[in-house]
């Protein structure tokens, strides 16, 4: 029992504080994230290209068909090669969007008391756990892999959308 609480011997889930209002720093950082011009970071430009590259959908679908036909599960194969892809798939399943410095997940109908966000610093990879509770139903639990460059997680629940920034 002691090992589960000792940070030196095991990793434990650490809760992330969920804010319900926008701070000035959050607004300023959001407006400063430029994706055009010479001030843009290469990672931002790359992510924006993939988000707007409609022609890539057909290529990805064909690749997925080949993997399924050969008996492989596409998500596990590609997630091993490029772990950030599994984050994009999970956020897409939740009808959210991935930004270079975070993600947004719509949770309309949920209340901030129904949402729990926590992180786990594992030896292999850093993960984020999202739990959404609904009375009379099982909890919706998703464990999302975080990018290697992710820093401290900031969580904001505003207008039915969960904003996570790192």
* Tens-place pLDDT, residues 37-54: 677 777 777 777 777 777
Q: What pLDDT, in 10s, does the model give residues 117-166? A: 999 988 778 889 999 998 889 998 988 888 888 889 999 999 999 999 98
Residue 138: what are its φ and ψ, rounded to 5°?
-70, 150
pLDDT band at 68 (very low <50, low <70, confident <90, very high): low
| Chain position carrying tokens 């589960």 | 4
Q: What is the pTM of this model?
A: 0.59
Please state the domain extents for the chain. 11-165
Q: What proportion of the chain, given as a percentage, has pLDDT over 90?
A: 27
């Amino acid at each position: 029992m002691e090992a589960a609480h000792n940070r030196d011997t095991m990793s434990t889930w650490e809760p992330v504080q969920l804010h319900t209002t926008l701070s000035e720093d959050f607004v300023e950082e959001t407006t400063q994230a430029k994706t055009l011009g010479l001030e843009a970071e290469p990672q931002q430009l790359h992510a924006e290209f993939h988000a707007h590259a409609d022609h890539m959908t057909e290529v990805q679908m064909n690749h997925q068909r080949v993997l399924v036909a050969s008996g492989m599960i596409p998500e596990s194969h590609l997630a091993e090669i490029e772990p950030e892809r599994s984050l994009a798939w999970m956020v897409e399943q939740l009808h959210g969007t991935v930004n270079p410095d975070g993600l947004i997940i719509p949770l309309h109908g949920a209340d901030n008391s129904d949402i729990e966000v926590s992180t786990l610093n594992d030896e292999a990879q850093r993960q984020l756990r999202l739990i959404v509770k609904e009375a009379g139903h099982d909890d919706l639990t998703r464990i999302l892999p975080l990018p290697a460059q992710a820093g401290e997680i900031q969580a904001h629940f505003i207008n039915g959308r969960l904003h996570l920034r790192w």
